[in-house]
Amino acid sequence: MRDTVLTKAAIGHDTLLQRAALVLGGSLFIAAAAQVSVPFYPVPMTLQTLAVLIVGLTFGSRLGAVTLLAYLAEGAMGLPVFAHGMNGAALTGPTAGFLFGFVGMAWLAGLAVEKGLARGVVTTALCSVVISALLYLPGLAWPAAVMGKTLPELWGSWMAPFLLGDAMKAVIAAMTVWGGWLALSSRKG
């Protein structure tokens, strides 16, 4: 039976060392993507969501979620892995809901692949767009609950300006992962 997860098909990850290397590499990839940002207020637009989707789509649900937990733990330990070189302080700041939501985002992306919902570039892009939209649930719940932001404030400053960029990043993630599958199949075939 063909592997549904790209990293397993390409390199396998049956040993603890292989899984640990993927988690470390994936968390460093996300940390690097977090530093590529366009200044927005109150939440910067970064390439984090792109990287989280790629990790989830290529690692699968469990390994993707573990990678994001490792990423959050790295920040909590004081490493400057979050946007603008932030560390654990971001876990209680205005973007905390998005940061914690990344775990679910990676898990859902991996689950979509494992369940066969994301098989080609189009279905992977559609799944990625929906999963990106779902990130707004924890992302907006946090400032609503902690900072008392209203629905119009959340829509105008926290959501609307980011929708097009998030959709584009979802499509780019799908194209990247699909390109990985094509490269793998040409190498093996």
Give the mean model confidence (pLDDT) for residues 164-184.
95
- In percent, the amount of the chain with pLDDT more than 70 equals 96
d(CA 26, CA 9): 17
d(CA 103, CA 135): 10
Structure tokens at 54: 């790629």
- Residue 15 clears pLDDT 60, i.e. is over it: yes
Domain boundaries, the chain: 6-183
Please state which architecture CATH assigns to domain 6-183. Answer: Orthogonal Bundle (1.10)
pLDDT tens figures, 123-156? 999 999 999 999 999 999 999 999 899 988 999 8
3 pLDDT tier (thresholds 50, 70, 90): confident
1 pLDDT tier (thresholds 50, 70, 90): very low
- SS3 per-residue string spanning 105-170: HHHHHHHHHHCCCCCCHHHHHHHHHHHHHHCHHHHHHHHHHHCCCCHHHHHHHHHHHHHHHHHHHH
d(CA 129, CA 135): 10
Model confidence pTM above 0.75: yes
Top-confidence residue, 93 or 106: 106
d(CA 180, CA 164): 24
